Structure 1
Amino acid sequence: MTAGTVLVVAVPAAVIGAASFGMASAIQHRVTKQVPEVATFSPRMLWDLVRKPIWVLSIGTVIVGLSLQVVALAFGPLVLVQPLLVTSVLFGAAFAAWLAGRRMDLVLALGALLCAGGLAAFLLLARPSGHGSEFTGAPVLPLSLAMGLLVIASLLAARWLPGEFGVVGLAVATGVFYGVTAGLMRVVAGQFRTGGFVEPFGHWTLYVVCVIGPMGFLLSQQTFQRGRLMSPSLAVITTVDPLVAAAIGVSWLGESIESSPAILAGEAVAGALMIGGIAVLARRSEQIGRELAAREDSESWG
């Protein structure tokens, strides 16, 4: 595959796909505010949302984005495509600001850029290689426990931490669910390629995906509903998702990443950038949320 093909096909597909994801997220963030809040993982929320035509349209936009992501990955390497897809955070922030009739906040944009840049740097340094689509026989329990504990801790943080800091907890849990879904979908796709349409139905992987995937999507809608602003939620989800998927690829599917001391040091810096970006987004969103609440209170009294 020539470099020209990558530039002509993969890059535009990834960028337009990122714009599609960003637009869908902005719409969903707005529409979820129009339905009653429910308990975590309650499917009642989807029943309320599906009666909103604009929300149904956003699902079509997600499908377009996923299709373009597949095209981009078919013609370009992961280390190029994934960082471009993470720009959905910037597109989403721009669309959300436009829908709300306000200007895009530069501090939120900086936080989103730190997340996207940190993830891009991590992937470029790690250079994940291999196309693992089968379990290697390596123990799955350690990583499973780590992800399970991370989800539990994140949901507890979402329950007890105030404001946007609690929203970050929900977003982390959503990112883990999405990352597990993406990692296991590689296995399902491999089973389909080798055994045909029926083959995946004979393995447990497909059934786990059918449970974890919808749970992650439902949790994402609840994350958008709770967050006053969209940028922190989307930035955290799009950062955690590929990291969890990469961990599954390396730990369970035999993929590899660069791990020399210099590379590990660079990856640590990239991780610090991502954490810093998330902290900037959460703090700034909390500040803007207080300002908006104060403005609404003054308008109601006025």
Structure 2
Amino acid sequence: MLAAALALAAAAVFGTATALQHRSASAVAEGSGGSGRLLARLLRSPGWVVGLCLSGVAFALHVAALHEGSLTLVQPIVVTTTVFAVFVRSALDRTLPDRAEVVWAVCTWAGLTLFVLTAGTRRPGFVTDDRLAALFLVVAVVAAAVAIVVAGQLHVPARRGFFLGVAAGILYGSTAGLVKLATSYGRGGVVPLLHHWSAWLVAPVGLTAFFLSQRAFQASRLSVSVPVLNIVDVLVAVGFGSVVFREHLFRSPGQLLVELVGATMIVVGVWQLVKEGERLHESHLREVPAGSPPAPR
């Protein structure tokens, strides 16, 4: 259960970092400058810088979780970052969470509990064939590239954001697989880790996924891009674990049913939390008088 605890800690720290950075970014007036100017302003914001540092801590915890546990256990836990972000943001704003946010957070946690109790005893597998890992990643990159091309041909923002979210999810799931692969070779020390190709792909693939996720968020509503990104992320990570590490998804039909119920509750809970956050944000904007500076939410 150490892997589950580390993954939960990673989600909590990621959620705190997200809340801090979103609060700082939302305090900057829209249209105040280009991307370079916006970044310069954010770098002068203590909250945003702290959030950036916490993201690094969260990534280290994520790596540690993948080192100790299976992809099929760790990745679904990490995508509950949204739950932590909602409550940390409420604490920062000194407000109570909306009742609907609490309901969907409970739904997410209940699903997570079901999933972890079912999958928590599963031991991490070991890579059986390096060529399978390379082939899986090539297919994933090609699939992400196709999704990006499709997104570029679409003029409807929601559809474009959906396919960009798919591409980002594929690469985020692939990044988790790369981290797991690199740490499996890192068990023999730093030298074997640095000699393996997977260690050198984590940064470029992860940063590309981050860039695509920002484009997806910009192209459409979060309720369109975030759920599909999280779902695809988990599916790709679980697929990587199953193909490369021979991680068994279930041992009986009953276990499979419980895992599916838990995973569905996580997905629905996160999706509804994002939608509720958008609803509250839009409601707040309607209440702000015209010409008033936007308050962070």
Within the alignment, does 1:257 sit opposite 2:249 as a pair?
yes
Cα distance in 2 for residues equivalent to 1:183 and 1:199:
17
Contact kept? 2:70, 2:123, Cα under 8 Å:
no
200-209 vs 167-176, greater mean Cα deviation: 167-176
| Equivalent of residue 99 in structure 1, options 92, 98, 107 | 92
Q: Residue deviations 1:139-189, cap 9 Å, x none?
A: 865786467547865983997345xx9877665544433221111112222
| Equivalent of residue 189 in structure 1, options 183, 188, 193 | 183
Within the alignment, does 1:276 sit opposite 2:236 as a pair?
no
| Equivalent of residue 47 in structure 2, options 54, 57, 60 | 54
Cα distance in 2 for residues equivalent to 1:139 and 1:120:
30
| Equivalent of residue 27 in structure 1, options 10, 20, 33 | 20
Cα distance in 2 for residues equivalent to 1:285 and 1:151:
30
Count of residue pairs the alignment pairs up: 285
Indicate the SS of the match to 1:23. helix
The one-letter code sitting in structure 2 at the alignment partner of 1:160 is: V
Cα distance in 1 for residues equivalent to 2:68 and 2:137:
31
Q: Residue deviations 1:67-112, cap 9 Å, x none?
A: 4456667788888877765554332111212334433122123334
Summarize the Cα distance change of 1:277–1:148 in structure 2 as closer, same or farther, 3 Å threshold: farther
Cα distance in 1 for residues equivalent to 2:224 and 2:104:
8
- The residue number in structure 2 matching 1:3 is none
The one-letter code sitting in structure 2 at the alignment partner of 1:190 is: S
For 1:14-163, what aligned pairs fall within 5 Å after superposition? 16-33=9-26, 34=28, 49-50=42-43, 52-69=45-62, 88-126=81-119, 128-133=122-127, 135=129, 137-138=131-132, 145=139, 149=143, 153=147, 156=151, 160-162=156-158
**Cα drift, residue 137 of structure 1:** 4.4
Cα distance in 2 for residues equivalent to 1:258 and 1:11:
17
Summarize the Cα distance change of 1:13–1:287 in structure 2 as closer, same or farther, 3 Å threshold: closer
| Residue segments in structure 1 that go unaligned for 5+ positions in a row | 1-5
| Residue segments in structure 2 that go unaligned for 5+ positions in a row | 293-297
**Cα drift, residue 57 of structure 1:** 1.9
The one-letter code sitting in structure 2 at the alignment partner of 1:218 is: F
Q: TM-score under structure 1 normalisation?
A: 0.68
**Cα drift, residue 60 of structure 1:** 1.8
- The residue number in structure 2 matching 1:204 is 197
Cα distance in 2 for residues equivalent to 1:35 and 1:300:
12
Cα distance in 1 for residues equivalent to 2:133 and 2:80:
34
**Cα drift, residue 58 of structure 1:** 1.4
Indicate the SS of the match to 1:269. helix
The one-letter code sitting in structure 1 at the alignment partner of 2:237 is: A
**Cα drift, residue 217 of structure 1:** 3.0
Contact kept? 1:179, 1:240, Cα under 8 Å:
yes
Q: CA RMSD in A?
A: 4.5
Cα distance in 2 for residues equivalent to 1:282 and 1:92:
10
